[in-house]
Chains A and B, each alone.
Chain A
Amino acid sequence: MKSLRKTELAVIGGGPAGLSSAITAMRQGAEVTLIDRDPVLGGQLIKQTHMFFGSKDQFASIRGIDIPSELIKALEEGPGKVKVELGTTVIGYYDDGVILMEKDNRATTLLPQRIIVATGAAEKMLPFPGNDLPGVYGAGAVQTLMNVYGIKPGKRVLMVGAGNIGLIVSYQLLQAGVEVVAIIEAAPHIGGYLVHASKVRRAGVPIYTSCSIKEAFGRESVEGAVICRLDENWQPLPGTEKTLELDVICLAVGLSPLTELLWQAGCKHKYVPELGGYVPVRNEKMQTSIPYIYVAGDAAGVEEASSAMIEGKLAGLFAAASLGYDHDLESLAATYRKELEELRSGEAGSKIRQGLAKLIGGVSVAS
């Protein structure tokens, strides 16, 4: 019988959070294994054709698709070596700390001393009649179809949700030559950044707030949708129905953290709607209720790629420190925390700040 394969730190997920975790922990001196289910690193960055905001440290003014190569370069530069396992899905966590992985129909095991879960998030579904007709997509799925595989989802699209994902994917649909009939938003105001909303408005796409989808119809696939206005209690206003002819309905109604492995491990969770639903309880070190498991990025609470990268750095830093690699710990931690604080300041960050206050009791970031 072969002996169990071991690693000091396993990072699960090679998106912005996981890559940053792996780089940081490696630079501190930890021996790292980075695991991702996809054949390439980068997670959802590989389809983000728009430019990022924030500061230079979070790749502002660089397009999302160009960030993975920068991070991979840092990963390969060393000084240490990160073992990268691609096309590999972590499918289970067991009480003895062993993780089970699957690649090419073959299961393998790994025993890490520390784990960082950076598994990202999944798109939320909406209940309405006809919601399983072919032509109803998640907005992220449409973005993958177009920007990764070069496939248009259809001819005329209704975008449900005016958060950043709904606005950005609408613009990218227009860039691909697809008509966006309307963007509808159940809330009384647009959730995403004004700069994204302005771009689609200038292109002539209407954004209807306090508006929802009542039903989708069609024989074999989507042929149209009925939308209606909502009153101040979010209830449909009778007589306001409007029928639109279209062949694609895109749902951009939020993301849920992907936390299956953390539940399996028995990590405590808390329901925080501002962060996407159930999120793992964790401290300022990104450490969960199970001390050797850390979390970063959307799995820790749905936010943005920029903040995911800094959370990744923090998780990598503290996971490495707990293994004894605590070089410059305090000053690096202070730098990363300051970056996070700046990113979450202002109006745009208020929802995240409220969510985090519920999750970690508003602990001062200075502590």
Chain B
Amino acid sequence: MEDEKIIICRCEDQTLSDIRKKINYGITSIEEIKRLTRCGMGPCQGRTCRDLLIKEIAAATGQSIEDVGMTTFRPPVKPIKLKSMLGVDDDEKEC
């Protein structure tokens, strides 16, 4: 299958086939697909896959891009080490 060779989310290794299986199963909400596949939850936080995923859902369901909606954005926008958060406004030596 060609779809298995098309990567949608590089960070979480999700193919077009993985996404289409979810859609064929009736799961067409972008938030649900995100939670089930982790699309957009990896190191790049969706910069690569978000557009592709939204377009795929729109094409499969006949919705407009805006009707598909958008996932929720939360801090941090890039992966950080836990120790950087522990050090907020704290001059004590690093753990």
Contact = CB atoms under 8 A, between A and B. Distances in A.
A330 B16 CA distance: 52
Interface of B: 2, 5-8, 10, 16, 45, 47-49, 51-52, 65-66, 70, 73-78, 80-81, 83-85, 87-89, 94
A130 B5 contact: yes
A107 interface: yes
Contacts of B89: 1-2, 108-109
A208 interface: no
Contacts of A124: 51
Interface residues on A, range: 35 or more
B85 A125 contact: no
B3 to A, nearest CB: 8
A102 B84 contact: yes
A132 B65 CA distance: 25
Contacts, number: 81
A127 interface: yes
B16 A127 contact: yes
A92 B85 contact: no
A264 B75 contact: yes
Nearest to A138: B48
A106 B82 CA distance: 9
A277 interface: yes
A324 B89 CA distance: 30
B83 A260 contact: no
A277 B58 CA distance: 14
B47 A122 contact: yes
B10 A132 contact: yes
Contacts of B7: 127, 131-132
B49 A105 contact: no
Given A122-B47, A127-B52, A105 B6 contact: no
Contacts of B6: 127-129, 131
Nearest to A5: B89
Contact of B84 (A1, A106, A122, A263): A106
A150 B66 CA distance: 41
Contact of A263 (B70, B83, B85): B70
Contacts of A294: none
Ranked 8 nearest A-B pairs via Cβ: A92-B75, A91-B76, A129-B5, A263-B73, A132-B7, A105-B84, A260-B77, A107-B84
Contact of B88 (A107, A131, A261, A270): A107
Interface of A: 1-2, 89-94, 100, 102, 105-109, 122, 124-125, 127-132, 215, 256, 258, 260-261, 263-264, 269-271, 277-278
A272 B8 CA distance: 22
A109 B52 contact: no
Contacts of A258: 47
Contacts of A261: 77
A256 B75 contact: no
A125 B39 CA distance: 14
Nearest to B74: A264
A66 to B, nearest CB: 29
B77 A89 contact: yes
A165 to B, nearest CB: 17
A95 to B, nearest CB: 11
A259 B49 CA distance: 15
B76 A105 contact: no
A225 B16 CA distance: 19
Contact of A256 (B51, B66, B73, B74): B51
13 contacts: A91-B76, A100-B75, A108-B89, A109-B89, A125-B48, A125-B51, A127-B7, A128-B6, A129-B2, A130-B5, A131-B7, A264-B77, A271-B66
Contacts of B94: 105
A90 B73 CA distance: 14
